A = this chain, B = another copy of it.
């Protein structure tokens, strides 16, 4: 949790090095990205749908989520982001933001000019690849959510998202998969699972009654992990947490010999 305040971009470096290894020069360039550190209150907007974003946003601490609305105001929550995620590499590289990003809890973020991101990707293609990979993993999670909300029943949807948050938070050392802080309201949980808040409430109660979880207003304890995994049809491959790191840009070491 206690990041070196002198290196606010360290969480981004750590996250991207899940996908590619960086040499000293690449690490320095990344940490030297121009940025503005901002403290956000819960529910503060990072980007609004329709904006022409000028910055990307790194989440240093706290949680954030992406959302999209129908014309009638119904909401879907598309993703929940955690420390180290460059929230909205998805959004801000394209011209117009097609969805909004909002802080879920109070959060510390770094705004990075989008040209600086593009420039970094052009000067250090290895970092560009890592950022690309990172957005691909986001997409993979989005696909699993799509499956979740279209083809699983209510109690499975809830069970699945409870499993996912546990594994993700544990991978960041922000909790245990069987016990973690859970700051979403039931209404937000409903928008993340395509259900109605009332039904989410009843489903949580049912998961408690059947002994799978204990739920208090802002925390979750899983009391029967293996049954919860079955109930949620949870298979964690889609999180790509075991992606083997590619050693430092081997392609750059032998680019001349192009045997074909």
Provide 23 A-B residue pairs closer than 8 Å at the C-beta atoms, listed in order of the A residue.
Answer: A68-B144, A74-B152, A76-B146, A76-B147, A76-B150, A94-B136, A95-B242, A96-B237, A98-B240, A121-B129, A121-B132, A122-B125, A122-B126, A122-B249, A122-B252, A123-B255, A125-B128, A128-B128, A131-B132, A135-B136, A139-B142, A142-B146, A150-B194
Report Cα–Cα, A147/B100, bound state, in Å.
13
Instruction: Tell me what chain A mostly uses at the interface: helix, strand, loop, or mixed.
Output: helix
Interface residues of A in 206-223 (CB under 8 A from B): none
Interface residues of A in 180-213 (CB under 8 A from B): 191, 194
Q: Is A7 an interface residue (CB 8 A)?
A: no
The reply to whether B125 and A94 form a contact with Cβ atoms under 8 Å apart is no
Q: Is A78 an interface residue (CB 8 A)?
A: yes
Q: Is A164 an interface residue (CB 8 A)?
A: no
Which of these, B115, B233, B240, contacts A251 with CB under 8 Å?
A: B115
Please list the 9 inter-chain residue pairs (A to B) with the smallest Cβ-Cβ separation, ordered nearest first: A150-B194, A74-B151, A122-B125, A132-B132, A125-B125, A98-B238, A76-B150, A76-B147, A68-B147
Contact with B along A4-28 (1 / 0, CB 8 A): 0000000000000000000000000
Given A76-B151, A149-B194, A251-B118, A99 and B34 contact (CB-CB distance below 8 Å):
no
Q: Is A145 an interface residue (CB 8 A)?
A: yes
| In the complex, residue of chain B having the shortest beta-carbon distance to the beta carbon of A34 | B260
Oligomeric state, in number of copies? 2
Which residues from B are CB-within-8-Å of A242? 95
Interface residues of A in 128-174 (CB under 8 A from B): 128-129, 131-133, 135-140, 142-147, 149-152
Report Cα–Cα, A34/B258, bound state, in Å.
11
The interface size bin for chain A is 35 or more
| In the complex, residue of chain B having the shortest beta-carbon distance to the beta carbon of A244 | B95
Given A98-B237, A143-B142, A121 and B128 contact (CB-CB distance below 8 Å):
yes
Q: Nearest chain B CB to A21's CB is how many angstroms away? A: 14
Which residues from B are CB-within-8-Å of A244? 95
Q: Nearest chain B CB to A149's CB is how many angstroms away? A: 5
Besides the contacts A99-B143, A128-B129, A142-B143, what 8 more A-B pairs have beta carbons closer than 8 Å?
A: A34-B260, A70-B151, A89-B136, A95-B244, A96-B237, A98-B143, A115-B251, A135-B139
